[in-house]
Amino acid sequence: MFVAVIVTAIAGRLVVVHTLEARSLAAQAAAQREYTVVLTAKRGSILDRYGRPLAYTDEARALTFLPQAVRTATDAAHRRDPKLPDAAKRFAEIAKGVSSALGGSISEADLLAKLNGPEKFVYLARSVATDVAARIVADFPEVGADPENLRLYPGGTLAANVIGDVNYDGNGLMGLESSMDSVLGGTNGSKTYDRGSDGAIIPGSARNVAPAINGATVRLTLDSDIQWFVQSQVYAAKAASGAKRVAAVVLDARTGEVLAMANDSTFNPSRPLSEQRDANLDNPSVTTPFEPGSVNKVVTAAAALQYGVTTPTATHTVPGSIRMAGVTVKDAWAHGPERFTTTGIFGKSSNVGTLMLARQVGEKRFADLVTAFGLGQRTGVSLPGESPGQVPALSQWSGGSFANLPIGQGLSMTLLQMASVYQTIANDGVRIPPRIIVAETRDGHRESPMPEPDKVTVVSPETARAVRDMFRAVVQDDPTGRQRGTGPQAGVPGYQISGKTGTAQQVDPRCNCYSNSRYNITFAGIAPADNPRYVIGLVLDNPRRSSDGSGGQSAAPLFGTIAGWLLQRARVPYSPPAPRLALEAG
């Protein structure tokens, strides 16, 4: 009787299992067999203007380990066969072997701590070369090697502040890697298949395959060769001048494209950031505005010519000081009334003469031109963290605003904005907002050029050409000193060069007033002036000497070095002889 009851119960249970619970149990079994794997999208490359890689992705491996499972299995095997090592001994062997294979980049002690930890799953190492990972797995089958993408930066520090970096998961961390993460990163796919009890894939079980969509390749306007040279000169200028910071931007005068953007104290994205604690991770050329000083007088010069206030050869009696709206402004050197041409006012960088002309232009027309030059607005260059700078609205000008703004104080701009102002003058009065991205290429598709920015006509071609010619006076030399400009060191033999020096007092945060000991030293210029090819903008943060280590405080030598190299490299023909300019009237 008892046996019959047992048989009946079992039979009943079988009926329930095969009928009422059949679907549920089948679903549970399928779920246990089913496994979905992520198909990782390959991150797109970042190339320079000629297709040379600045960042690209290669295949790598992540070394993985299952501490609990491997410990249990290893100790069980040791109990069955004492000749086999126990977990403690085997883990020590693995730690020593993996550390050695990785060249000691991860210590044996750190690896052993992970192996002996309580976790179910750990990463032993990330971004390991495939051949190295294969050797490790062959020697230590307990170690897993999961496919992983490795981001490589062949230039090291080259344009690192522009390119940026990614984290261990391959996501953009800073720079273009961050701002273009959705474009570069692509979209991961997935695939589902069944596994047997031993974990092996069941043939023919693959389904629900969604292919990964690789990230787009992005081609930049940067020229790797120009970037390398400018970056090396920025480093040298910082060391020679004792400046806190040095930065440089080079634009194509005709298109506004960024050919180089360099600053000191950059970093190497090929190395862990934790090892580069003193590195500058941002991009000051777009993130850090400053008061430009006399470099901004080009706006006043353009306004004075555009509105017919003066001509380049007109003469002016310039006193040693001027009083505007209750504020007295002096020149950098003491003098009585002097006879300067309009060209000489800017060649000698006379604050008084500049404000005399600005007063004739008027506040409204000057403010309109500042806006037309793009100041106080982001350039839209597609770099993260770009600052618009700060230009007070005309309605907010205080009594002393118009005594400061025309000479480059009381407003701030980024180095890229400063270079863009001079690109406008170089391009016959038409501002082309700077850009750094040329095109994108999707996987398997043709290259798609980025839309060109809208052009803005700021001043007439005649005005722009006249300003370019006038500002040759800045680099003009004269043994007597009478017809010498403020930056002859920026000259390049054989070429007409147009530019402007700048010295601006920094704001002392302790008193919220202008410092008498700390300055931004700037230079912006066009090479060559007669047929513009390049625009170069420079800023030195409180240097103790000139950019070449000589006396004084000037960025002009750095401009001359960079401009000379660019013109020779591009084999730009020499400029025709140009007449000497009169700065001081006879």
pLDDT in tens, 421-457: 999 999 999 999 999 999 999 877 888 899 989 999 9
Q: What is the Cα–Cα distance from 464 to 429, expressed in whole angstroms?
A: 5
409 vs 127, more confident: 409
Domains in the chain, start-ordered, CATH in brackets?
Answer: 224-267+291-569 (3.40.710.10)
| Predicted confidence (pLDDT) per residue in 303-329, tens digit | 999 999 999 999 999 999 999 878 899
For 103-113, write each residue's pLDDT tens digit.
998 999 999 99
CB-based contacts of 291, cutoff 8 Å, min separation 6: 408, 409, 410, 411, 412, 504, 505, 506, 507, 520
The answer to whether the beta carbons of residues 326 and 571 sit under 8 Å apart is no
CB 142 within 8 A of CB 77: no
CA-to-CA distance for 340 and 327, rounded, in angstroms?
A: 23
Q: How far apart are the first and last CA of the chain?
A: 135
Question: Is a pLDDT exceeding 90 seen at residue 89?
Answer: yes
CA 74 to chain centre: 51
The share of the chain scoring above pLDDT 90, in percent, equals: 73
pTM for the full model?
0.86
- pLDDT per position as a tens digit, 337-385: 999 999 999 999 999 999 999 999 999 999 999 999 999 999 999 999 9
Q: What SS3 state is found at 260?
A: strand
Dist CA 38 CA 85 (whole Å)? 35
Enzyme catalytic residues: 294
Amino acid present at 379: T
Q: What is the pLDDT of residue 90?
A: 93
Across the range 41-62, mean pLDDT stands at 93
Per-position b or e across 244-281, b if 16+ CB within 10 A of its CB: ebbbbbbbbbbbbbbbbbbbbbbbbbeeeeeebeeebb
Cα 330 to Cα 336: distance, rounded to the nearest angstrom: 11
Q: Average pLDDT in the 219-227 region?
A: 98
Give dist(CA 271, CA 155) in Å, integer: 12
20 pLDDT above the threshold of 60: no
